[in-house]
Each structure stands twice: as structure tokens, then as C-alpha cells.
Amino acid sequence: MKAIKLFVAAVAVAFATSASAKIFENNHFTADFSVGGTVTSVTVPFFGKISNTDASFGLGAMFQTEILSTEWVTLDWDVFRLAWVAPFSSPADWDQLHFKTGCRAYSPTFANDHLRGYTNFDMGYVLGLAKDGNDDVQTASAFGLDWGIGIQLNKKFAFGYTLQYESNGKSKNHFFTFGYTF
């Protein structure tokens, strides 16, 4: 599991520090940090559905390319989005890896051409990794959706809200997200 985390971090650093992140003029590489809560629901025999809420964090990296730009809207394709989500209490015991693609729409700029709103919708694969009592790693996979809304403060900084949902219904993440675009 540490090897996967190191690989994701190495990819993020490689894109951030290389010229290949700007192959075309309208491409962007974004790194983000999220904090919030994860609501996990599990159905247990004789007890029914049990829900648990944990304070969690997420680290993500995304490569985007602009596909449409008009006076009223800019539409970007999130070519790939990688994210690692874990609870603050035990990040080594329970993890989620997100591999997604999607789109992001930006409003026209306002407030002296510095601010603009955005919304995003991404979908893809979520891999859940959890250690059991014997330190064996159990995996579960699901189809995942992300929806977010926020403010792009300038060309580099953004903040917003993100809801992540899994198709198996076992986890919903509510995050405040802070992003930096290279």
C-alpha cells in the first residue's frame, strides 16, 4: 500500500516540476488538499445498517485540458484525476484510491477579473483498502462519482465543496477542497 502512495506522489511531483505539464497552452495540472468527513454505512447481520462518521482528508492530482472557451463559459476536460482519501484517526488502516475522469465548467470572471465560479463532475473507479485484525489488506472496488462547486480565486488558487459517492453505497465523502493550479 505504501508503494501505491509513493507512486501517486511521484507522478504528481513529476507533472508539477516538468515542462510536460504544459504541453499545450490550454492544459493545467492541479494539486488539491481536502478536509471533511466520511460517512461509511455497513449492513451487519442481526444489527442492520450501521453508519460511522470519520474526520478525513484527501490528496489529489488532476490534469485538465480546455475544450471550449466562450464569453460565458469555459469547459475543461479532467483528463485524469487521482486521489487518496483516508481518515485522520488511522490513515494506514483504511484508504481509498480514486481514478476518475470528467469535466469542469467555469463561469465568466467577476470582481475585477480575478474570481470565477466553477462546478465539476467526475466519475471513475474507487479502490478501497482496509486492514483487518490480522493486518491483512482487504480490498473493495466501486464506481465513484464526484460533484463539486467552488470559487477560483485567481489563476492559481481555488476552494470549494466536493461530494464523493460510491456505487456500492458504503461511503460518502463531504470535503472542503483547496486547490493549486500549476
Rounded Cα distance between 155 and 168, Å, is 36
Position 17 scores a pLDDT of 47
Task: List pLDDT tens digits, range 21-65.
Answer: 444 468 889 999 999 987 776 555 565 555 667 889 999 999 999
Residues 6+ apart with CB under 8 A from 19: none
Residue-range domain boundaries for the chain: 2-18+30-181
Cα(4)–Cα(139) distance, rounded to whole angstroms?
14
Distance CA 93, CA 172 (A): 18
Do residues 97 and 126 lie in contact, with contact meaning Cβ atoms separated by under 8 Å?
A: yes
- The grid coordinates listed for 144 are 465513484
Model's pTM, two decimal places?
0.76
Per-residue pLDDT tens over the stretch 72-124:
899 999 999 999 988 888 777 778 899 999 999 999 988 888 899 999 999 99
What pLDDT does 14 receive? 52
Could you give the CA distance from residue 84 to residue 173 in angstroms, rounded to a whole number?
12
Q: Is the pLDDT of residue 2 over 70?
A: no
pLDDT digits (tens, 9 = 90+) for 5-16: 555 555 555 555
DSSP 3-state of 1? coil
Range 2-18+30-181: architecture per CATH: Beta Barrel (2.40)
